[in-house]
Structure 1
Amino acid sequence: MGPQGATGGADAVDPKVRRMAMLAAADQAIGKESDILDSLAAAFSEAGYHLYLVGGSVRDALLGRLGEDLDFTTDARPEATREILDAWADVVWDTGIEFGTLSAERHGRQVEITTFRADTYDQVSRNPEVTFGDTLEGDLVRRDFRCNAIAVELHGDGSRTFLDPLGGFEDCVAGVLDTPGAPEVSFGDDPLRMLRACRFSSQLGFDVAPRVREALNEMADEIERITVERITVELNKLIGGADPSRGIDLMVDSGLADLVIPEISDMKMTQDEHRQHKDVYQHSLQVMRQAIDQEAPGEPDLVLRWAALLHDCGKPATRSYNEQGNVTFYQHEVVGSKLVRRRLKKLKFPKKTIQEISQLVYLHMRFHGYGEGKWTDSAVRRYVTDAGDLLERLNKIVRADCTTRNRRKAARLARACDSLEERIVELAEKEDLARVRPDLDGNEIMEILDLQPGKQVGQAWNYLKELRLESGPMEREDAILALKKWWHEQEEKEQHDGA
């Protein structure tokens, strides 16, 4: 599969035509930024330095997807860059000046400029000894992939020149990820680049070169040198890509997933001899793809994507066979939810994100407890209440979880989803389903039962909430009668137990 650009797949277009089209598209995209680029280039030129647009900015311009983030490199040392930017920009940040990087903003647009680097690595940590270089090629050769090692020199007169000493342009044309030097050296310098290969495969739709794939397979365990925080950033970028299945496949096949998130590769279960269950791994990828298809335009919904991918991760630990020899996965949603919480906690995901993803995994089977047209008011209330703010995402996962090729079964499940959502709307018109609370609050309970704050008040509140879920809203007088009856039964039970 070729890169995803404005000119279509690489296989569908003559390479020469594609090269010309990509260069023209890039030149046009960069030209649209002339308001900021020309003045910045002129400022560096007047000071006697060169300025280059570089890295992902050039790659994305060639692929027809240039965004607002613009990255530059220069032969100017950090102190000289700071002096130039102070005169040119509205605001300058020098928090990265130790590494040769300064950021600036002019007329609401941000830029990041880094002095040529010629770092050296010890092949033990991923922290380089930062040294500044003297040549553009020396700076480019230290980058992760050749497609990210293309530069555009910006001249002071507004003209520009494409520079590609390492062949990154041809990689963009072919849709290939390859390293500037030997991949073993590149990944040894910084093992995070292995996960970046998976991430770029997801974001760009690129394949990895054979030598890169071989190095991934041989060096996967080097990823353990990387901090968990950096791994998590790459995982989120991967799953937020245009086609995360590509990146996940590469991560699983190379063995990286075994080390960073084994719950994914564990789903590659060997099917039983009768093939009574689906390939859980492939099914999960398909569910994720179908969930993505339901996303609203804009930013990817990472919570939805993670939950869809991991919804069945509890199946490997719960697979069993009943007396008839049929395969079962009883309570896999409960086990899966626990696995997700444990793994995401190790990966240091935010607490709220962990709660949301694990809750969606826990709830994804709730829908299947009811057949088409069999949703009672009580069942709808409980479904909505348990889902809470996750209701819309839960409904998307339920729909995405249908990957059967049986058209009748698929149509039946779709009708059941439609029926549930219709019932939710109908009941919501009568009740406030977003806030199902008891008909009496804690203060009223204490006053009616003459109680002090404590456990008994909480028990009474929980009883009224269950009653509310089961029966719907009640008149105040009916709620009071129900509360008093329940309290009387509790007192009688205590007396009986104490006798």
Structure 2
Amino acid sequence: MIPFNTKILPGTKGVYMVGGSVRDLILGRPSTDYDIVVRGNPEKFARKLSENLSGHLVKMGKPGQVVFRVVSGEHLFDISAIKGPNIETDLVQRDFTVNAIAYSFFSKTIIDPLNGLKDMAEKKVRMTSSKIFKKDPIRLLRAYRVGATLKFTIEQRTADAVEKNIKLIGASAAERIRFEIFSILCLPESNHSFLQMAGNGLLFQIFPELFRTKGCFQNRIHLFDVFDHTMRTFYMLEKLLGADHQFDPEITRQIRRHMDEKRSAQLKCATLFHDIGKPLVRTIDQNGNIHFYGHEQKGADMANKICKRLKFSVRETGYIDFIIRNHLKPLFFFTAGREKDLTRKDLTRFFMKLGDFTPDLLIHAIADTRGKGDENDERNAAFIRFIKNLIHRYFVNFQPRSKAPPLITGTDLIHHFGLTPSPLFKTILNRVEERTLSNDLNDRTAALIFVEELLGRRIKA
């Protein structure tokens, strides 16, 4: 017996819950999505279920792979026909033994022909047969998603079969590869999965650009080659995103509100790609010093091509591009701060240029620095203190003011100063916003006086 509300799906003969739905219920994992297979006509069953639940029915898939989806409140049911003459035949065709378990609504028993319950108890991901990867190569990636999601280990024969078949992944649709990659990235601890995929070469089949970073050695401030640095940065980023002790409690709450699951996944993806441009721009000067001038621009251009190849969304592509293209900006700002005292206006301009991406870039900067390997280096320690202070000032000072209504608008420029809409409007309003966010202007009257002064000086300030 598994914990499922049988009032939703009464005990009908020939109807089974299957796959991850059963697995998650047995493991006590919350689920509102259920995979149902039926002997007979799945559309007829789906229509009846939809009527009983006052739900909405959608037909999906192509001929031979049709699924009927019933949506009712928080519940989602995907209903299809049993593959083969009986449920056991259906189950042995599935990917991994922990997903090859069924629950009969009629007999209220579990059907487990491949000992998936045993593998579940031993926390193992085991293939149902050695042919599963050739039948559907996306399962090469799915093995790591299932393992990372459940915190299970991929058993040795399955791991060997993945390594043997890594080249098959190229036959999978780009959208499916992207889905699996982001599903892993969305997990709080995905670093180990990516290291495993790098170890057997699967990661480099998907991202050959990363393979070039192996053996690309860096300057004296780095203890590792570009690839190992990248993976250490990835690891450090996950620690930052998941830890409570890196910042004070209020800043931690702010970061977690800002860095939701999807945004964190995008930042981790950008971190994987942040130095892929280095091998292509690497130079050695006459003193033997290694340089990577312009690697952030080159890397962003390369990442754009990866995103296009794997059908990332426009939003995902834009985010990843911005992080990579600007990931050195915090370091440049730190260097500028060592040469002169930074003013409130300097901070405001920095935050305004980076906008909503500011916390993301600053968190990445800490991870990137820790990924260099020398945590005792005083310059690195000073940089991290500097970045943590910026994060604090962004959330405590800048962000609250940036959300306040503007002191004046374009309408004020028209009615109060008799100006005609032009590019000058943007210049004036940007100056007002900058002064406001720097806490130099606090009310409408002060803002109008400032604009009058600006116009008198013809915007030279």
Query: Where on the TM-score scale, by shorter chain, does this alignment land: which range?
Result: 0.7 to 0.9
Deviations 1:83-110 (A, max 9, x none): 6425533225140385353233456533
Give the Cα–Cα distance (whole angstroms) in 2 for the partners of residues 89 and 486 of structure 1. 68
**Structure 2 unaligned spans of 5+:** 244-254
Match of 2:138 among 165, 184, 192: 192
Give the Cα–Cα distance (whole angstroms) in 2 for the partners of residues 337 and 108 of structure 1. 40
1:142 aligns with 2:93: yes
Match of 2:49 in 1: 85
Q: Percent sequence identity over matched residues? A: 23
Match of 2:170 in 1: 224
1:287 aligns with 2:236: yes
Match of 1:201 in 2: 147
Give the Cα–Cα distance (whole angstroms) in 2 for the partners of residues 437 and 317 of structure 1. 45
Are the aligned partners of 1:364 and 1:398 in contact in 2 as well (CA < 8 Å)? yes
Q: CA shift at 1:308, angstroms?
A: 3.4
Are the aligned partners of 2:145 and 2:184 in contact in 1 as well (CA < 8 Å)? yes
1:138 is matched by which residue type in structure 2?
Answer: T
In structure 2, relative to structure 1, the CA distance for the partners of 1:59 and 1:440 (3 Å cut) is: closer
1:174 aligns with 2:122: yes
1:253 aligns with 2:199: yes
1:37 aligns with 2:2: no
1:102-141 equivalence runs, <5 A:
102-105=68-71, 108-117=74-83, 133-141=84-92
| SS of 2:178 mapped into structure 1 | helix
Q: CA shift at 1:311, angstroms?
A: 3.0
Are the aligned partners of 2:270 and 2:324 in contact in 1 as well (CA < 8 Å)? yes
1:157-172 equivalence runs, <5 A:
160-172=108-120
Deviations 1:107-152 (A, max 9, x none): 65332222211xxxxxxxxxxxxxxx22111101111111110122
Deviates further, 352-361 or 143-152: 352-361
Task: With the length of structure 2 as denominator, give the TM-score of the two structures.
Answer: 0.78
Are the aligned partners of 1:337 and 1:358 in contact in 2 as well (CA < 8 Å)? yes
Deviations 1:9-61 (A, max 9, x none): xxxxxxxxxxxxxxxxxx5xx32x2xx3255232x2xxxx2222211012223
Are the aligned partners of 1:54 and 1:149 in contact in 2 as well (CA < 8 Å)? yes
Give the Cα–Cα distance (whole angstroms) in 2 for the partners of residues 476 and 84 of structure 1. 67
Deviates further, 370-379 or 64-73: 370-379
Match of 2:330 among 329, 345, 367: 367
In structure 2, relative to structure 1, the CA distance for the partners of 1:281 and 1:303 (3 Å cut) is: closer
Are the aligned partners of 2:14 and 2:39 in contact in 1 as well (CA < 8 Å)? yes
Give the Cα–Cα distance (whole angstroms) in 1 for the partners of residues 152 and 56 of structure 2. 35
1:235 aligns with 2:186: no
Q: CA shift at 1:161, angstroms?
A: 1.6
Match of 2:36 in 1: 72
Q: CA shift at 1:385, angstroms?
A: 0.9
Q: Which structure: larger Rg?
A: 1
| SS of 1:71 mapped into structure 2 | strand
In structure 2, relative to structure 1, the CA distance for the partners of 1:179 and 1:107 (3 Å cut) is: same
Q: CA shift at 1:188, angstroms?
A: 1.4
Task: With the length of structure 1 as denominator, give the TM-score of the two structures.
Answer: 0.73
Give the Cα–Cα distance (whole angstroms) in 2 for the partners of residues 291 and 419 of structure 1. 15
Match of 1:387 in 2: 354
Give the Cα–Cα distance (whole angstroms) in 2 for the partners of residues 39 and 62 of structure 1. 18
Matched positions, count: 428
Are the aligned partners of 1:74 and 1:116 in contact in 2 as well (CA < 8 Å)? yes
Are the aligned partners of 1:94 and 1:103 in contact in 2 as well (CA < 8 Å)? yes
1:303-452 equivalence runs, <5 A:
303-369=266-332, 370=334, 374-403=341-370, 404-407=373-376, 409=378, 411-424=381-394, 428=398, 432-433=401-402, 444=413
Give the Cα–Cα distance (whole angstroms) in 1 for the partners of residues 362 and 456 of structure 2. 38
1:113 is matched by which residue type in structure 2?
Answer: I
Give the Cα–Cα distance (whole angstroms) in 2 for the partners of residues 38 and 468 of structure 1. 58
